Structure 1
Amino acid sequence: MKSIKQFENKKVLVLGLARSGEAAARLLVKLGAIVTVNDGKPFDENPAAQALLEEGVKVVCGSHPIELLDENFELMVKNPGIRYDNPMVAKALEKGIPVLTEVELAYLVSDAPIIGITGSNGKTTTTTMIADVFNNSGKSGLLSGNIGFPASEVVQTATDKDVLVMELSSFQLMGVDQFCPHIAVITNLMPTHIDYHGSFEEYVAAKWNIQNKMTAEDFVVLNYNQDISKELSEKTNATVVPFSTSEKVDGAYLDNNVLYFKEEAIMAADEIGVPGTHNVENALATIAVAKLSGISNTVIKETLSHFGGVKHRLQSLGEVNGVKFYNDSKSTNILATQKALSGFDNSKVTLIAGGLDRGNEFDELVPDIQGLKAMVILGESAPRVIRAAEKAGVPYIEAEDVADATRLAFENSTAGDVVLLSPANASWDMYKNFEVRGDEFIATFEALRG
């Protein structure tokens, strides 16, 4: 970690804790800042605030008092989830106090080069693929950022022999200034988080911050399946490296089921360890980064062939009596389930679907579920999902919960079939979150295998 002086004896307010705020506070203390932490959760329910207080950090908990900003702070580091129209943030900006997110701190002290991955879908899978390729090549790829490892924590032990492979959300990228990865990846851009950003244009602008400080010696990897990426490619100083599944580009592309980088064949698309057209895009982005980093085709192919997916994101669990199990509990909407199904032969798939009833019908899903071997349907939305199954002519069974659904799906399957949990619904009718739902699927699979 670089020893920098710019925060010495400066008063800094860390707004919002969670893991990134806690990590930022500790890094700032290490850099000599005078740190105050403000978090909405009451102190007696706030282990992070309690720990920081014991370490000598001033903490203000239970509310966000505007008058706190009268204490002459020179910088605010905010939790990415806190909006810019939050009264504390708005007041800080009004007073001329710079507002950053903790990935900016990580960049300023990083000895390790950074590969930054952002986008609407596929960020976590692509980030994990890239880190795996680096680690399998003998180079050290450290996962960091929005993937669950705060960048300002990871950076403290990273050296110039490591690479920070950093997943970045639009929320994080709104709060950067000097941040500059050596390689940036934008997996795709879809209308999402509009409630936070106000418009798709503002959302894209936040994502595009990733390349603001890049030069021609840096690389931005863009998805040329999208016209918006082609438009953005005209607006950067970085060297653009495109990837595409639909056309031959001067980068990574798919041609006759083979993945290429600049006319050099790397591997067959059906050798990728996780199914789905979206995972071909993720693999192409990974190939572009790997080739730009001097990693061999052998390592790339081996890594992507054995990639089992990210937990709860079309995660391959293995087989029981020749039946393959895939955990895609993260699919909390119709589009995600459509993408998951695109990688399979429907005639061999028993799909587990259903969950929180948000009032929407599932007619959009009908073309994608036609030809399924069967569906196992559960949760509040079951009547709506059943209507879609009936329209698609798919036989279905109703289940009480994910464990029951998994057993029923397995009983309905024979060797060569697939049991796919891809609910197309949020989990909150029955489970605390999609992770708990996926964990129940994994536990039931392990019981069946055992």
Structure 2
Amino acid sequence: MKTTLKFKHKKVLVLGLAKSGVSAASLLHKLEAFVTVNDRKPFSENPEAQGLLQQGIKVICGSHPIELLDEGFDYIVKNPGIPYDNPLVSGAVKKGIPVLTEVELAYLVSEAPFIGITGTNGKTTTTTLVYEMLDKGGKHPLIAGNIGTVASEVAQTASEENNVVIELSSFQLMGIDTFRPKISIFINLYEAHLDYHGSIDEYAKAKANITANQTEDDYLIINADQPELDQLLHFSKARKIYFSTKNHLEQGASIKDGHIFFNNEKIIDISQIALPGKHNLENILCAVIASKVSGIGNGAIQEVLKTFTGVKHRTQFVRTLNGRSFYNDSKATNVLAAKSALEAFEQPTILLAGGLDRGGSFDELIPYMTNIKALITFGETAPKFIETAAKAGIQTVKHVDNVEAAVPAAYEASEQGDVILLSPACASWDQYRTFEVRGDIFIEEVHKLK
């Protein structure tokens, strides 16, 4: 672990706990900062806060008292999920107090270079693919962030031989100062998280921070099929490498004659790739570029692409039973993600969909429902899905109570050669605590089928 004097004898407020807050507070304590932790959960119900108190860290629980700003903090390190209109955060910004996220701390103490991945869709799959390719190629990668161990924990044990591969949300990227990945990947940009950012422009600006501190010695991997990304990232000093799923590129990664190419070098026949879905080609091209510039050979890249079938809850293959193939795409918590999943399959499909009602309609899915032979719907949005199915001309529609009931109903409506796909197009919170819980229940019920 590198030492940094940036926080030594500085007053730092860690706002919000969860895993990242606990790790940030402990690390700052090691770096000899004067740390105060503030979390909304009451102390008596907060084992994380209790553990930090035992380390000698000041803990304030139960609310976010605005009076804390009178204590003269030099920095605030906030949980990425806490919005900037939180009175403590907005008050700190007005006072000129730097507001950071735990990713910045990780970067400051890491001896290993970072490979940072952002975008609206595909971050987790791309992050995992990059990690697997580097691992297969003997580069000793470490995976961090939302799909691994908290970044500031990973960074403390990383050496120069490692690469820290990290998925980065817009929330995290708003709280960086010096963070500089050796390789940054910007997969795509679509409208999302407007409730947090207020506008697509602010969301895009936050994402663009991934390359803010890069230099000519670094790499920026960009989607050539979205020219607006080039405009957004025009300021970047990094060496730009493009990918395209639509056009062949002489330089960069693209598709030609059913093969993936990098700089006109044939990498793999697409028919040999195990990961389903056209939308995953973007993720694959990103991972190929990151791996090639990291010095990974084609053999390691090919081996990963021939065996990697997906990240859990993201168009994840579960099993085949009596000729039916089951896929878990519980992470599809919006219409855009569900579109991608529906596009992935040409076979007749039984769709399981529904969940939290955020007020929108699902008619945008209709052009992508041509292969849907039956819809099994559940949750608050079931009535809306029934209306959409009628407009799409889907004859078989069944309304059930939950995912537990949806799986046997889908199997009953299917026949040999069909795909049975959970891709809810909705958040899970009306019935399940997280999309992971919803997906795990789907997997469990699929394995119960005889």
TM-score normalised to the size of structure 2?
A: 0.95
Q: Which moved more, 1:290-299 or 1:133-142?
A: 133-142
- 1:431 Cα shift? 2.1
Q: Which residue of 2 aligns with 1:417?
A: 418
Q: Distance in 1 between matches of 2:71 and 2:371?
A: 65
Q: Tell me the alpha carbon deviations over residues 273-298 of structure 1, each in whole angstroms, 9 at most, x when there is no partner.
A: 22222100010000010111111111
Q: Is the 8 A contact 1:269 1:280 kept in 2?
A: no
1:431 matches 2:408: no
- 1:15 Cα shift? 1.2
Q: Tell me the alpha carbon deviations over residues 268-319 of structure 1, each in whole angstroms, 9 at most, x when there is no partner.
A: 2333322222100010000010111111111111112211211111111121
1:445 matches 2:442: no
Q: Which residue of 1 aligns with 2:300?
A: 299
Q: Is the 8 A contact 2:16 2:38 kept in 1?
A: yes
- 1:238 Cα shift? 0.4
Question: Amino acid of the residue matched to residue 68 of structure 1?
Answer: L
Aligned pairs for 1:22-421 (under 5 A) are: 22-249=22-249, 250-346=251-347, 348-398=348-398, 399-421=400-422
Q: Tell me the alpha carbon deviations over residues 142-163 of structure 1, each in whole angstroms, 9 at most, x when there is no partner.
A: 1112335221111111111111
Question: Amino acid of the residue matched to residue 65 of structure 1?
Answer: P
SS of the aligned residue for 1:441 comes to: helix
- 1:252 Cα shift? 0.7
SS of the aligned residue for 1:184 comes to: strand
Q: Which moved more, 1:402-411 or 1:9-18?
A: 402-411
Gaps of 5+ in 2: none
Count of matched residue pairs: 448
Q: Distance in 2 between matches of 1:335 and 1:382?
A: 18
Question: Amino acid of the residue matched to residue 384 of structure 1?
Answer: K
SS of the aligned residue for 1:277 comes to: coil
SS of the aligned residue for 1:155 comes to: helix
Q: Which moved more, 1:109-118 or 1:375-384?
A: 375-384
Q: Which residue of 2 aligns with 1:11?
A: 11
Q: Distance in 2 between matches of 1:273 and 1:407?
A: 27
- 1:223 Cα shift? 0.6
Q: Distance in 2 between matches of 1:403 and 1:171?
A: 33
- 1:357 Cα shift? 3.4
Question: Amino acid of the residue matched to residue 425 of structure 1?
Answer: C
Q: Distance in 1 between matches of 2:290 and 2:336?
A: 27
Q: Is the 8 A contact 1:224 1:242 kept in 2?
A: yes
Q: Tell me the alpha carbon deviations over residues 117-171 of structure 1, each in whole angstroms, 9 at most, x when there is no partner.
A: 0111111111111111111222222111233522111111111111100111111
Q: Distance in 1 between matches of 2:425 and 2:233?
A: 33
Question: Amino acid of the residue matched to residue 16 of structure 1?
Answer: G
Q: Distance in 1 between matches of 2:211 and 2:252?
A: 18
SS of the aligned residue for 2:156 comes to: coil
Gaps of 5+ in 1: none
Question: Amino acid of the residue matched to residue 264 of structure 1?
Answer: E
Distance 1:383 1:76, change over 3 A: closer
Distance 1:73 1:430, change over 3 A: closer
Q: Tell me the alpha carbon deviations over residues 366-409 of structure 1, each in whole angstroms, 9 at most, x when there is no partner.
A: 22112323222223322221222222222324233212221222
Q: Is the 8 A contact 2:208 2:233 kept in 1?
A: no
- 1:254 Cα shift? 1.3
Question: Amino acid of the residue matched to residue 244 of structure 1?
Answer: S
SS of the aligned residue for 1:230 comes to: helix
Q: Distance in 1 between matches of 2:197 and 2:383?
A: 34
Q: Is the 8 A contact 1:100 1:176 kept in 2?
A: yes
Q: Is the 8 A contact 2:373 2:396 kept in 1?
A: no
Question: Amino acid of the residue matched to residue 26 of structure 1?
Answer: S
SS of the aligned residue for 1:275 comes to: coil
Distance 1:49 1:235, change over 3 A: same
Distance 1:386 1:198, change over 3 A: closer
Q: Is the 8 A contact 2:279 2:340 kept in 1?
A: yes
Q: Is the 8 A contact 2:252 2:263 kept in 1?
A: yes
Q: Is the 8 A contact 1:233 1:240 kept in 2?
A: no
SS of the aligned residue for 2:205 comes to: helix
Distance 1:352 1:238, change over 3 A: same
Question: Amino acid of the residue matched to residue 223 of structure 1?
Answer: N
SS of the aligned residue for 1:330 comes to: coil
Q: Which moved more, 1:255-264 or 1:385-394?
A: 385-394
Question: Amino acid of the residue matched to residue 175 of structure 1?
Answer: G
Question: Amino acid of the residue matched to residue 324 of structure 2?
Answer: V
Question: Amino acid of the residue matched to residue 422 of structure 1?
Answer: S
- 1:412 Cα shift? 3.1
Q: Which moved more, 1:434-443 or 1:379-388?
A: 379-388
- 1:102 Cα shift? 1.0
**CA RMSD in angstroms, aligned pairs only:** 1.7
SS of the aligned residue for 2:279 comes to: helix
Distance 1:356 1:175, change over 3 A: closer
Q: Is the 8 A contact 1:11 1:73 kept in 2?
A: yes
Distance 1:62 1:349, change over 3 A: same
TM-score normalised to the size of structure 1?
A: 0.95
SS of the aligned residue for 1:56 comes to: coil
Q: Distance in 1 between matches of 2:118 and 2:393?
A: 39
Q: Which moved more, 1:142-151 or 1:7-16?
A: 142-151
